[in-house]
Amino acid sequence: MQYAVADVNHHDRYKILTAFVLPRPIAWVTTIGPTGVVNAAPFSFFNVFAEDPPLVMFAVNKRPDGRIKDTWINIERTGEFVVNLTDEPLARAMHESIGDFPPDIGEPDYLDLGLAPSVDIKVPRLAQAPWAMECKTWQVINVKDDRQLVIGEGLRFHIRDELWDAKAMRVHMDKYHPIGRMFADRYCRTDDRVLFPAAEGPKKAAE
């Protein structure tokens, strides 16, 4: 089966893209509103792209009725956000944070999620997140006025202590259980892991 993109309507394109390009990591982005309300929303059109500087990108689209999402409004105003990651204990709350919250009700407050102050920016992070990165906006790419690709530069990493061997600079993989986005309301666990021996390539194999 094949389709020219031009022959597929937007909704079906979304389905084809999200049903195959998976699992996707989830950025649970915290931002601050004009009255100080802390907002949290998940984004799975997301990834990291560089380490020098550390760059993350996620895409915020408009709501189906055309309203701009709080995350985008807040980032446009402050130029700051935190990317928090989600593991199994937090996954349900992450999913529930997509309810239609008015801007004056913060998802962390409503869902009883603890916040911890950031160091380099004013936006707090989610205290229980396994990993979080304080970010300032690096660049924003406007896509046809209906979505923004937000590129953030990481300023500071926060890692939950029990997950990290600071001496070896290694994650304790047996204790880290991130959740991936499949599509729609489906997620996956990441505990069924596979290890391949080092790849040798044709030159080494011929020796």
Residues at the site binding ligand FMN, with contacts judged by CB under 6 A: 26, 39, 41-45, 58-61, 69-71, 95, 98, 181
Least gap, CB of 21 to ligand FMN (angstroms): 12
Least gap, CB of 202 to ligand FMN (angstroms): 40
Question: Please, which residue, 108 or 164, has the CB nearer to ligand FMN?
Answer: 108
Least gap, CB of 8 to ligand FMN (angstroms): 19
- Say how far apart CA 203 and CA 106 lie, in whole Å: 57
Least gap, CB of 52 to ligand FMN (angstroms): 25
Q: Is 33 exposed, middle or buried (0-12, 13-18, 19+ CB in 10 A)?
A: middle
Least gap, CB of 137 to ligand FMN (angstroms): 15
Question: Please, which residue, 71 or 118, has the CB nearer to ligand FMN?
Answer: 71
Question: Please, which residue, 175 or 186, has the CB nearer to ligand FMN?
Answer: 186
Q: Which of 170, 139, 165 has its CA nearest to residue 152?
A: 139
Question: Please, which residue, 110 or 170, has the CB nearer to ligand FMN?
Answer: 110
Whether residue 25 has a cis bond before it, omega within 30° of 0: no
* Residue whose structure tokens are 């390539």: 201
Strands (DSSP E) along the chain, which ranges? 27-32, 38-43, 46-51, 54-61, 80-84, 115-116, 125-126, 131-143, 147-159, 164-165, 170-171, 180-181, 187-188
Question: Please, which residue, 94 or 121, has the CB nearer to ligand FMN?
Answer: 94
Question: Please, which residue, 2 or 35, has the CB nearer to ligand FMN?
Answer: 35
- Say how far apart CA 96 and CA 183 lie, in whole Å: 16
- Say how far apart CA 186 and CA 65 lie, in whole Å: 24
Least gap, CB of 61 to ligand FMN (angstroms): 4
